[in-house]
Amino acid sequence: MLGSSVAQFALVWYLTDLTGSAVVLATATTMVMLPQIVLGPLAGTYVDRWNRRLVMIVADGIIALLALWLAWLFWSGNLAIWHVYVIMVGRSIGGIFHHPAMHAATAMLVPKKELSRVQGLNQAMGGAVNVIGPPLGALALALLALHQVMLIDVITATLAIAPLLLVRIPEPERKPAGAGPRAVVGDMLEGLRYVRSMPGMMIVIGIAIGLNFVGAPTWTLLPLYVRDVFAGDAAGLGLVQSAFGVGLVTGGLVLSAWGGLKSRVITGFVSFGLTGLAVLSVGGAPATALWVVAVGWFVFAFFNAIGNGTFMALLQGSVRPDMQGRVVSMVMSAVQLATPVSLALSAPMVERFGLRSWYLLAGVVTIVACLWALTSSAVRRLDEVGADEALEIEESAPALGTPSV
């Protein structure tokens, strides 16, 4: 993750420095997001068919080879912008196989009661990478040529593969898989039917999509918010973003040590509700008090790490092992799809009602959604759903396309 963060920073800065074009940067962002949105569920289907350890090894290996190719293109002077786009798509495709395989493998290795601790550690590591990666990327660009920076990603990918060659990861029991595209599509639809069979999980996924919908613009608009509302400069923006990174790390470490309440539903949705209060404080902060935004962003990140970690543990603990890849991929694809839609819709609202309007809206929607989730018996039942119960629910569920109330 750290090597990829350094490489990603270098690539984005290369495109910024070379073109100075917002269109180029927006296209690059789209290239990263599209594979997850379009191919995620299909990748998850193959993850459930294949050996998860080998999937992670191959995915990391492909990412390393792409970084090596990019290093050669930089070194030889043959790099074109379209090369960067292609490599970004390739790296993203590697990621849509790696992440579901990692989450599915975690569910096979970790006792159910300890999943929240592991997810807390993952949140802390992700936050640490967000804090450390960009400065390391800037330092690497100052000390090394661009092709040498890309080689860092090759080295770190190799370091990630090495222990996977030695570690044994249990595989779930699977039904015999059919061959051909029709069988693969059938497996993918089976995963969708499985999710549909769990009303509480459908509600949780719907709320996750909604929270990402209102939350994505709050991060994207943050530079404008700091500059236009608080008359802040780059140092002010850096302060707020650093507070966010520290909050992620702290929240992840707290969840890892604590493990959360006995009820993951209560832990997760109370945490997300508190993020809503934090966003409200950011939206209502006096224009002379940028420090309130920094504190609010720290609190948001702190509880966001706890909520996200608990949600992933709830997903892993409630979903059958042989369905983990498909379900995780579907959730990630649906949640990411909300981002471009929300960015498109938030722009006209912000232009009409001002930047504060979206932060206030996001805070209110988050709090209301979390309070509603906590009153849902179907959601609360997820704390009790195990693999055997999920199997019974699935077998009694209607087929896709069958009308049901």
Q: What is the pLDDT of residues 311-320, one digit of tens each?
A: 989 888 888 8
The answer to whether residue 361 is domain-embedded is: yes
The answer to whether residue 395 is domain-embedded is: no
The answer to whether residue 245 is domain-embedded is: yes
Measured at the alpha carbon of residue 30, what is the angle toward residues 121 and 10, in degrees to the nearest 5? 65
Q: Are 104 and 47 in contact (CB under 8 A)?
A: yes
CA 345, distance to chain mean position in Å, is 21
Taking 50 as the threshold, does the pLDDT of residue 177 lie above it? yes
The per-residue pLDDT for 191 is: 84
Which two tokens mark 187? 């497996």
Q: Are 101 and 55 in contact (CB under 8 A)?
A: yes
Region 208-236: mean pLDDT is 86
The per-residue pLDDT for 256 is: 92
Which two tokens mark 155? 């080295």
The per-residue pLDDT for 236 is: 83
Q: Which has the higher per-residue pLDDT, 321 or 296?
A: 296
For residue range 249-268, what is the model confidence (pLDDT) as tens digits?
A: 999 999 999 999 989 999 99
Q: Which helix (H) or strand (E) holds 69?
A: helix 52-76
Taking 50 as the threshold, does the pLDDT of residue 394 lie above it? no
Sorting pLDDT into bands at 50, 70 and 90, what band is 393? very low
Measured at the alpha carbon of residue 336, what is the angle toward residues 57 and 306, in degrees to the nearest 5? 80
Mean pLDDT of the chain: 85
Taking 80 as the threshold, does the pLDDT of residue 174 lie above it? no
CA dist 4 and 25 (Å) reads 18
Measured at the alpha carbon of residue 257, what is the angle toward residues 256 and 263, in degrees to the nearest 5? 75
The per-residue pLDDT for 359 is: 94
Region 352-357: mean pLDDT is 89
337 vs 40, 187, 283, CA distance in Å? 11, 22, 25
The per-residue pLDDT for 398 is: 38
3-state SS class at 397: coil
User: For the whole model, what pTM was predicted?
Assistant: 0.79
Whichever domain contains 202, its CATH number is 1.20.1250.20
What's at 182, amino acid-wise? R
The per-residue pLDDT for 181 is: 72
The answer to whether residue 398 is domain-embedded is: no
For residue range 58-94, what is the model confidence (pLDDT) as tens digits?
A: 999 998 999 899 899 989 888 888 888 888 888 889 9
Highest mean pLDDT among 9-23, 184-198, 380-394: 184-198
* Percent of the chain whose pLDDT exceeds 90: 33
The per-residue pLDDT for 272 is: 96
The answer to whether residue 47 is domain-embedded is: yes
The candidate with the shortest Cα–Cα distance to 301, out of 262, 260, 271, 265, is 271
Q: Which residues contact 136 (CB under 8 A, 6 or more apart)?
A: 2, 5, 6, 9
- How many structural domains are present in the chain? 1
The per-residue pLDDT for 140 is: 86
The per-residue pLDDT for 171 is: 86
For residue range 143-155, what is the model confidence (pLDDT) as tens digits?
A: 888 889 889 989 9
The answer to whether residue 400 is domain-embedded is: no
| Residues 247-263 as b or e (16 or more Cβ within 10 Å = b) | bbbbbbbbbbeebbeeb
Region 360-375: mean pLDDT is 95
User: Which of 13-17, 128-132, 278-282 has the least mean pLDDT?
Assistant: 13-17
For residue range 106-123, what is the model confidence (pLDDT) as tens digits?
A: 888 888 888 999 999 989
The per-residue pLDDT for 22 is: 58
Residue corresponding to tokens 């509700």: 273
The answer to whether residue 210 is domain-embedded is: yes
CA 220, distance to chain mean position in Å, is 15
User: Which of 4-18, 82-96, 200-214, 273-287 has the least mean pLDDT?
Assistant: 4-18
CA dist 170 and 51 (Å) reads 9
Taking 50 as the threshold, does the pLDDT of residue 395 lie above it? no
Sorting pLDDT into bands at 50, 70 and 90, what band is 295? very high
Q: Which residues contact 171 (CB under 8 A, 6 or more apart)?
A: 51, 52, 108
Region 196-214: mean pLDDT is 90
3-state SS class at 174: coil
Q: Which has the higher per-residue pLDDT, 288 or 79?
A: 288
The per-residue pLDDT for 397 is: 39
The answer to whether residue 401 is domain-embedded is: no
Q: For residue 222, give its domain range.
A: 2-169+179-390
